[in-house]
Structure 1
Amino acid sequence: MTAPARAGRGSEELIRAEEPVLAHNYHPLPVVVARAEGAWVEDVEGRRYLDMLAGYSALNFGHRHPALIDAAHRQLDRLTLTSRAFHNDRLAGFAERLAALTGTDMVLPMNTGAEAVESGIKVARKWAYDVKGVPADRATIVVAADNFHGRTTTIVGFSTDETARSGFGPFTPGFRIVPYNDLAAMEAAVDETTAAVLIEPIQGEAGVLIPDDGYLAGVRELTRRRGCLFVADEIQSGLGRTGHTLAVEHESVVPDVVLLGKALGGGIVPVSAVVGRREVLGVLRPGEHGSTFGGNPLAAAVGTAVVELLETGEFQRRAAELGGVLREGLASLVGKGVVGFRARGLWAGVDVDPALGTGREVSERLMREGILVKDTHGSTIRLAPPLTVTADELAGALGTLEKVLTSS
């Protein structure tokens, strides 16, 4: 990675400049990134950091992966946007390959993860009315407590995080919240009005919470038996992160609908998609749903390149193999400032002894040592490095975490 010119403003000056002009909807760590390549980023002063967050899984293939950058450059020279008022020459190929990768029939292209979730909700309700026969405006969707599906008003309305929802009501009705990883509670919440169960196979924002073995299979059996849809939000967990293309594959589960995003855009453009069975996505008719940018040629070109990377299986294997390194390293830190952790593939939630600081404080200490992570709640931090990270880089990051915790 070539060092940037030093003539511009420094980190502190740039951070101060943001205060009066940017809405304060984020509280970023005090690092100003100027360049990046692979698993590494560089700030405006030229300091290098190992990125152990990877854009909340949006950068599964690292920063500026050559194949993805090349696909974007080539498409930029040809065509970037038509809107869906016209066909473009990239969309069909992208949809065909994404459907094949995920074992589904149809693809609804969108832009952001929250749009994919909103689209999944609309599709589930339309299916409930047109196919299941639920009376008009009576459809319900069962969701899990501690979920994170995005931040639109509909989505935060069924969040249990008061920071996300307080002050934004009134909220959209039609959602029933049950405890995560509790099949009995879910069974009790499902009735003849239920259009779908919408859950994350692994709850990322909650701290990388992994359900008990059999939970996902139980959700699949329940929804099939009770005649409703299983909608899996794989926006963070999908596309190689956990060692499989989709996290539901750990239990050989096939949902009716899968929501994808983040890594689908390769860290270059926002790309999301709803993929699923033809009998479900086929309920949409022209004019009932849309997006000016959804399925645009640039997004389709980058998305196709992402699918090509995943078709080889290389990144799924890397996540599985390096996930073992990550788990072993974290296990060795239990009792050395770590009080517990949950990991699947290259994704982990790490609970730090609260006596050593909050997750934010630990993240700031790691930043000063050249490691970038992000806290979730309390004293929990999450690790989600690019799938291009090496075993040595992982070991170095874990060694730095041990140093930060044992010297606190």
Structure 2
Amino acid sequence: MTAAVRTRSSAELISAEKPVLAHNYHPLPVVVARAEGAFVEDVEGRRYLDMLAGYSALNFGHRHPALIAAAHQQLERLTLTSRAFHNDRLAGFAERLAGLTGLDMVLPMNTGAEAVESGIKVARKWAYDVKGVPADQATIVVAAGNFHGRTTTIVSFSTDEEARAGFGPFTPGFRIVPYNDLTALEAAVDETTAAVLIEPIQGEAGVIIPDDGYLVGVRELTRRANCLFIADEIQSGLGRTGHTLAVEHEMVVPDVVLLGKALGGGIVPVSAVLANRDVLGVLHPGEHGSTFGGNPLAAAVGTAVVELLETGEFQRRATELGAVLRDGLAGLVGHGVVGFRARGLWAGVDVDPALGTGREVSARLMREGILVKDTHGSTIRLAPPLTITEEELVAALGSLAKVLGSGA
């Protein structure tokens, strides 16, 4: 008789001498078992206020009732057909999402990195078929400090050596310029340029917000140069900054919008490339695809996400609570905080390095029941669910003040 194999707890697994999980993440030592709204609970029953929200994947909080209901209903009917057949949820999802963003067509994918990779392929195909760039000569201009994912092609144009080292040879065809520098951008664009790919706000870099007019400048430059403006809204989009899309702060309409994270409601991975027909129409059957992209479960959850955003409630909450967040952080400048950048319910907070690294500050906040994530150096990111209450947000800011004031 085969002996029963005991399944070890998550707590045992993270402390194991020979872990079975690849060590590609360095999480804080908290093992989450349950969650609801803006709170999570660990295996020992301790509650934490989630001030990261899955890097914006949980914009609507954990287990939002409308999203859970949509998932349950669809699980009872149909979950996957592949794109070899039609399913009864996909067209409706695409129509609603296109209407939300004001663009004509939707290419459904799964992860954010897949959306970026797909956007790159679309831009190159458009450059060859429409712009007339000679075969295999299309270039894409990107910004230093970017974070678009960690696939081989994407890390090829990253400036983060931690993401790049040991993964070459790299994919050619990209030009890197400083972020928020229109002069450098214009110098890099030429007749081979298929697209300019940027984040309207650089999240992983520390919530870096460009100067007013930068996005307008990118839009005008790309029009003059007859190349595409691709906005990576995977973290910044879907209500996070107070608008449906972050580009709306400058009333800019890109040629291509990349969405992900919050589009799946924290339930399933859902991403999308959106553009008008003159751009996405360059794709033909067999040139691109995904077995799970646009699956019925994803489409059902994605439709429910769009319905939440159509009310405008979450965009208003991000705007109103964003003012509370900014005011609270402004009060900490000179008291452990040396600077911050915030838009909507999203902030990068630069802690006085004398008080510790971002990782150390995150660990102190964890002990206070607040979950955040560091980025580079002594910077931490705050991106709570848009469902957080003002009282909860103020309490989190109080905890930040406490750990910065005590230094322990």
Q: What TM bracket, shorter-length normalisation? A: over 0.9
Output one character per residue of 1:348-376: Cα deviation in whole Å (capped at 9) or x when no partner: 00000000000000000000000000000
Q: Deviation digits for residues 152-187 of structure 1, max 9, x if unmatched?
A: 000000000000001000011000000000000000
Q: 2:51 maps to which residue?
A: 52
Shift of 1:11: 6.2
Identify the residue that residue 323 of structure 1 maps to in structure 2. Answer: 322
Query: How many angstroms apart in 2 are the aligned matches of 1:182 and 1:340?
Result: 21
Q: Does 1:237 align with 2:253?
A: no
Counterpart-to-counterpart distance in 2, 1:63 and 1:10: 22
| 1:118 paired residue number | 117
TM-score by length of 1: 0.97
Partner deviation per Cα, 1:327-361 (whole Å, 9 max, x = no partner): 00000000110000000000000000000000000
Asked if structure 2 preserves the Cα contact closer than 8 Å seen for 1:201 and 1:216, the reply is yes
Instruction: Tell me the distance in 2 between the aligned counterparts of 1:138 and 1:405.
Output: 51
2:158 partner letter = S
Matched, 1:266 2:300: no
* Aligned residue in 1 for 2:399: 400
Q: Which residue of 2 aligns with 1:154?
A: 153
* C-alpha separation in 1, matches of 2:276 and 2:168: 33
- Does structure 1 retain, via aligned residues, the 8 Å contact 2:37–2:64? yes
d(CA) in 2 for partners of 1:214, 1:277: 24
Aligned 1:42-81 pairs, distance under 5 A: 42-81=41-80
The separation in 2 between residues aligned to 1:150 and 1:14, in whole angstroms, is 27
**AA at the equivalent of 2:194:** A
Counterpart of 1:131 in 2: which secondary structure? Answer: helix
Change (3 A) 1:363 1:86: same
Partners of 1:389 and 1:168 in 2: how far apart? Answer: 39
What is the Cα deviation at residue 16 of structure 1? 1.7
- Structure 2 residue identity aligned to 1:131: V
**Structure-2 residue corresponding to 1:210:** 209
Counterpart code for 1:159: S
Deviation per CA, 1:9-64: give whole Å up to 9, x if none: 76642422495201100000000000000000000000000000000000000000
Q: Which residue of 1 aligns with 2:19?
A: 20
Q: How far does the alpha carbon of each residue in 1:55-93 deviate from its partner, in whole angstroms, 9 at most, with x for none? A: 000000000000000000000000000000000000000
Name 2:171's counterpart in structure 1. Answer: 172
Gaps of 5+ in 1: 1-7
Which residue of 2 is the match for residue 224 of structure 1?
Answer: 223
SS of the residue 2:77 aligns to: coil
Distance 1:116 1:187 in 2: 26
> Bigger CA drift: 202-211 or 18-27?
18-27
What is the rounded CA distance, in whole Å, between the counterparts of 1:259 and 1:75 in structure 2? 25
Listed as ranges, the gaps of 5+ residues in structure 2 are 1-6
- What is the match of residue 256 of structure 2? 257
CA distance, structure 2, for counterparts of residue 12 and residue 239 of structure 1:
34
For 2:27, the aligned partner's letter is P
Q: Note the aligned Cα RMSD (angstroms).
A: 1.0
For residues 295 and 388 of structure 1, what CA distance do their matches in structure 2 show?
Answer: 27
Corresponding pairs, count: 401
**Corresponding residue of 1:139:** 138
Provide the rounded CA distance (Å) in 1 between the counterparts of 2:123 and 2:9.
49
Match of 1:89 in 2: 88
Identical residues among aligned pairs (%): 89
Deviations 1:238-295 (A, max 9, x none): 0000000000000000000000000000000000000011100000000000000000
Partner-residue secondary structure (3-state), 2:391: helix
AA matched with 2:280? L
The residue aligned with 1:309 is 308
